[in-house]
Amino acid sequence: MTDVLSGKRDASEWREKMGYQDITFEKGTVFVVTGGAGFIGSNLCEALLDMGCTVRCLDNLSTGKYENIEHFMGKEAFDFIEGDIRDLETCKQACMGVDYVLHQAAWGSVPRSIEMPLLYEEINIRGTLNMMEAATECGVKKFVYASSSSVYGDSTELPKREGQEGRVISPYALTKKTDEEYGRLYKELYGLDTYGLRYFNVFGRRQDPDGMYAAVIPKFIKQLLHGETPTINGDGRQSRDFTYIDNVIEANLRACKADSRAAGEAFNIGAGGRLYLIDMYEQLCNALGVEVKPNFGPPRAGDVRDSNADISKARKLLGYDPSYDFEKGIGLAIDWYKEYLK
């Protein structure tokens, strides 16, 4: 997996920077990226280093991979702390002298959270609370954190709009909903500028295609490239707002530049589209030049049926304007996996 996850050449070759080329930070601006060895975190680290920022990556490598950050090691502007966000002192050490925190560290996967709710509470709630507390003590300017579209739970409203959430249907979703409440309170009570980003089905380079909890796009791409038959859970008519990684990078950077009056809020971060899983699968097959009929399995417990983001709030308050729709993003993702899944 080393070559798959880290790449044989700089991943900036795969990135056009369309969505955030206008964003700048003063040279020497210091960022902490928690979960920085993971899929989203490592892409954020790379984007910030390319912009001339100093990056401190905090990760315990429980789900992140050293291979994702190995090519940053040795850079003067990059520092890796192998540590756990469940330890408050580690969080304080990471936040000392820092301007911005991009908090991505968490355990994902709805099915896994149903199996291990206590661990999810420890990592996703207490770990996030530790980071907010450390950021407050250390005088961090902005605290941007990963939330999730799963907070909409059983709401059938489409598109999904902030303020129209239903009942959460998984422990993972509950952890993210709780994080958002702490984000609001830390702004109101302690003056920490927090911005929650509700990610909608992120995909792209460095997303791990392996393991029983792998996300659907990298998993399907790998299986199709290797002549295997993917399994779609459910009837394939469930829909998602698949969001390319560079849109997520843009959202994090724009949140760092957002007005303090927008702090304490949560924002939908998607592409603003809606695609049925079976249609996504057919697009993958067409792009790869294969004809493989999928298998169909039972629906997964805790999964929402439909997802489509209304991104008007993020457009208005963060200036978020995603450059990548699904077609453009999946083309770049497939090119990357073809190269690194050899």
Q: What is the tens place of the pLDDT at every residue in 284-301?
A: 999 999 999 999 999 888
Give this prediction's pTM.
0.93
Label residue 1 by pLDDT band (50, 70, 90). Answer: very low
pLDDT tens across 17-39, in order?
A: 567 888 999 988 999 999 999 99
Percent with pLDDT over 90 in the chain: 85
Q: With contact defined as beta carbons under 8 Å apart, do 109 and 210 qualify?
A: no
CATH homologous superfamily of domain 2-203+245-272+308-323?
A: NAD(P)-binding Rossmann-like Domain (3.40.50.720)
Tell me the C-alpha distance between 58 and 281, whole Å: 35
Mean pLDDT (the chain, rounded): 92
Label residue 214 by pLDDT band (50, 70, 90). Answer: confident
Neighbouring residues of 20: CB distance < 8 A, sequence distance ≥ 6:
47, 246, 249, 250, 253, 254
Please tell me the predicted confidence (pLDDT) of residue 3: 43
* Annotation marks residue 186 as catalytic: no
Q: With contact defined as beta carbons under 8 Å apart, do 113 and 125 qualify?
A: no
Matching residue, tokens 């959460």: 168
Q: What is the dihedral of CA 311, 313, 318, 320, to 10 degrees?
A: 20
CA-CA-CA-CA torsion sign (274, 278, 279, 280): positive
pLDDT tens across 100-146, in order?
A: 999 999 998 899 999 999 999 999 999 999 999 999 999 999 999 99
User: Other CB atoms closer than 10 Å to residue 229's CB: what's the count?
Assistant: 10
Tell me the C-alpha distance between 101 and 95, whole Å: 8
Please tell me the predicted confidence (pLDDT) of residue 72: 97
Of 20, 145, 172, 337, which residue is the catalytic one? 172
Once rounded to an integer, what is the mean pLDDT over residues 215-237? 93
pLDDT tens across 187-210, in order?
A: 999 999 999 999 999 999 999 998
Whether the pLDDT of residue 77 is over 80: the answer is yes
Whether the pLDDT of residue 51 is over 90: the answer is yes
Percent with pLDDT over 70 in the chain: 94
